[in-house]
C-alpha cells in the first residue's frame, strides 16, 4: 500500500550561457596590462512555487563582467592594481516575493591595489580593496506575499579593507607565517522590519549606516612550524575572529562574540621505491577547549507591547582530534 502524497509538482528551468575572453600585453620587461571580459546570459522560467503556485516568472538577464589592471615587477617586488565589475542573479526563493516585490540582480564594483615582496626566505604582501555593491540582497525581516521572510535589495552597501600577509624562515627548523584582514562592512540606509503580533502588522526601524551581518572587522591567523627531526613537522595554528552580528542592525543584543582558537598538527612524511610519499597526520583541534559560536541566527518580534529577541547559536566542538594517511604513488 502506497501512502505517499505529492503536495506539489512545479517546474523550474535555468539556462546559463557564458562567453569569456582574456587579453594580456607586455608594456615593458617589467610591466604588463591585462583585460578580462565575460558575457553571461541567464534565463529563468519558474512555473510556480509551493506556497504560490500561480506565480510564473520569465526573466532574462544579460551581464557584462569586465576586469582590467596592470602589474609591475622588479627583483623581489610586485605591484598591481585592478578594477572589476560583477553581477549575480537572484536565487529561486527570492522570486517568491510576489508580483510587486520582484528582486533585481546584484551588482558589484571592485577596486584593488597592493604589493608583494617574495624570496626564498621571506614573504610580505598587502592588498587594499573597496567593494561597492548595488542592490545587494539581504534579509530585512520583511514578509512577502505568502508570509515568508524574503531577501530585499539594498541600494548601497560596501566593504573596505586591507589584507596583510607575512612569513619568514627563521631557522632551517623554524618557520612562521601570519595574515590579518582589517575591514569596514557597511549598509547605507537600511530599514529593519519586525513582526508586531499585537496588531498583526510589521514595525520598521531605519538605520542611516549599519554593519553587514556576519562580517567581522578583524580576522587573523598565524602558523608556527617546527621541524625537530627529519621528515617531521609540527604546526601550531592560531585563528582570531572579532565580534560580528547575526543581522544587519549592529545591535549588541544580536551579536556573536569574538573568539580565538589554537590547533596543533603533526605530519610525518616518508617515501620509498614505488611509494613516492606517505604522510601520517595527527591533528588536535581547539587545544584549549574554547567555547565559542561562529554562526547562528536571530529573530525579533513584539508581543504584549514588549520587544523580544531570540538568538540561536551553532556552537563549535570542544577539543577534538583526527588522524589520517595521505598516499601518493
- pLDDT the model gives residue 3: 58
132 versus 327: which is more confidently predicted? 132
pLDDT at residue 266 is higher than 60? yes
Q: What is the pLDDT of residue 36?
A: 97
pLDDT the model gives residue 160: 98
Write down the CATH number for the domain with range 16-34+69-328.
2.40.170.20
In the three-class reduction of DSSP (H, G, I as helix; E, B as strand; rest coil), residue 98 is classed as coil
Q: Which helix (H) or strand (E) holds 39?
A: strand 31-47
Residue 227: Cβ-neighbour burial (10 angstroms; 0-12, 13-18, 19+): middle
Other C-beta atoms lying within 10 Å of the C-beta of residue 12? 13
Say what the pLDDT of residue 257 is.
96
- At 101 the pLDDT is 79
Whether residue 155 has pLDDT greater than 80: yes
Confidence of residue 139 (pLDDT cuts 50, 70, 90): confident
> At 198, phi and psi to the nearest 5?
-70, -35
Q: What is the pLDDT of residue 2?
A: 58
Q: 128-137, 207-216, 274-283: which range is least confident on average?
A: 274-283
Q: What does the alpha-carbon distance between residue 82 and residue 69 come to, in Å, rounded to a whole number?
A: 4
Q: Is the pLDDT of residue 1 over 60?
A: no
CA distance 77 to 31: 12
Mean pLDDT of 171-199: 95
Mean pLDDT of the chain: 92
With 0-12 / 13-18 / 19 or more C-beta atoms within 10 angstroms meaning exposed / middle / buried, residue 254 is buried
**DSSP one-letter string for 139-208:** EEEEE-TTS-EEEEEEEEEEEEEEEEEEEEEEETTEEEEEEEEEEEEEEEEEEEEEEETTTTEEEEEEEE
> Could you tell me the residue ranges of all domains in the chain?
16-34+69-328
The answer on pLDDT for 283 being more than 90 is: yes
CA gap 186, 192 in Å, rounded: 15
Structure confidence at residue 4 (pLDDT): 63
271 vs 223: which has the higher pLDDT? 223
Average pLDDT on 58-63 reads 95
pLDDT in tens, 77-108: 999 999 999 999 998 888 887 777 789 999 99
Provide the pLDDT for residue 99.
75
- Say what percent of the chain tops pLDDT 70: 96
| Distance from C-alpha of 172 to C-alpha of 148, rounded to nearest angstrom | 59
Lowest model confidence (mean pLDDT) among 46-55, 168-177, 199-208: 46-55
- Does pLDDT of 53 surpass 80? yes
Question: Mind listing the pLDDT tens digit for each residue in 210-231?
Answer: 999 999 999 999 999 999 999 9
Q: Among residues of the chain, what percentage have pLDDT more than 90?
A: 79
pLDDT greater than 80 at residue 149? no
**pLDDT(159) > 90:** yes
Report how far residue 310's alpha carbon sits from residue 301's, in angstroms, rounded to the nearest whole number.
9
| pLDDT tier for residue 146 given thresholds of 50, 70 and 90 | low
Question: How deeply is 215 buried, as exposed, middle or buried, from its count of CB atoms within 10 A (0-12, 13-18, 19+)?
Answer: middle
The residue that leads in pLDDT, 198 or 7, is 198
Query: Which residues fall within 8 angstroms of residue 222, CB to CB, at 6 or more apart?
Result: 176, 177, 178, 179, 237, 238
**Burial state string for 105-137 with b = 16 or more CB within 10 A and e = fewer than 16:** bbbbebebebebeeeeeebbbebebebbbbbbb
Amino acid at each position: 500500500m502506497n501512502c505517499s502524497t505529492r503536495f506539489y509538482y512545479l517546474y523550474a528551468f535555468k539556462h546559463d550561457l557564458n562567453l569569456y575572453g582574456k587579453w594580456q600585453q607586455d608594456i615593458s620587461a617589467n610591466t604588463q596590462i591585462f583585460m578580462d571580459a565575460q558575457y553571461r546570459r541567464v534565463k529563468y522560467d519558474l512555473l510556480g512555487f509551493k506556497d504560490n503556485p500561480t506565480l510564473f516568472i520569465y526573466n532574462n538577464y544579460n551581464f557584462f563582467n569586465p576586469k582590467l589592471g596592470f602589474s609591475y615587477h622588479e627583483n623581489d617586488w610586485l605591484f598591481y592594481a585592478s578594477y572589476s565589475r560583477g553581477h549575480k542573479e537572484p536565487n529561486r526563493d527570492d522570486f517568491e516575493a510576489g508580483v510587486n516585490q520582484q528582486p533585481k540582480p546584484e551588482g558589484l564594483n571592485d577596486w584593488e591595489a597592493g604589493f608583494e615582496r617574495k624570496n626564498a626566505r621571506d614573504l610580505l604582501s598587502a592588498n587594499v580593496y573597496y567593494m561597492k555593491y548595488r542592490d545587494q540582497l539581504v534579509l530585512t525581516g520583511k514578509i512577502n506575499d505568502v508570509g515568508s521572510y524574503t531577501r530585499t535589495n539594498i541600494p548601497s552597501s560596501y566593504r573596505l579593507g586591507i589584507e596583510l600577509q607575512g612569513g619568514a624562515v627563521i631557522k632551517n627548523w623554524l618557520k612562521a607565517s601570519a595574515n590579518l584582514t582589517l575591514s569596514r562592512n557597511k549598509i547605507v540606509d537600511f530599514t529593519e522590519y519586525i513582526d508586531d503580533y499585537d496588531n498583526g502588522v510589521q514595525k520598521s526601524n531605519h538605520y542611516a549606516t549599519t554593519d553587514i551581518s556576519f562580517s567581522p572587522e578583524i580576522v587573523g591567523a598565524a602558523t608556527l612550524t617546527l621541524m625537530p627531526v627529519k621528515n617531521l613537522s609540527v604546526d601550531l595554528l592560531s585563528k582570531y575572529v572579532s565580534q560580528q552580528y547575526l543581522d544587519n542592525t549592529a545591535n549588541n543584543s544580536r551579536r556573536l562574540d569574538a573568539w580565538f582558537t589554537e590547533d596543533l598538527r603533526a605530519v610525518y612524511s616518508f617515501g620509498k621505491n614505488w611509494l613516492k610519499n606517505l604522510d601520517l597526520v595527527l591533528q588536535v583541534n581547539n587545544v584549549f577547549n574554547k567555547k565559542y559560536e561562529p554562526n547562528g541566527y536571530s529573530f525579533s518580534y513584539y508581543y504584549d507591547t514588549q520587544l523580544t529577541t531570540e538568538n540561536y547559536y551553532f556552537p563549535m566542538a570542544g577539543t577534538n582530534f583526527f588522524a589520517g594517511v595521505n598516499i601518493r604513488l
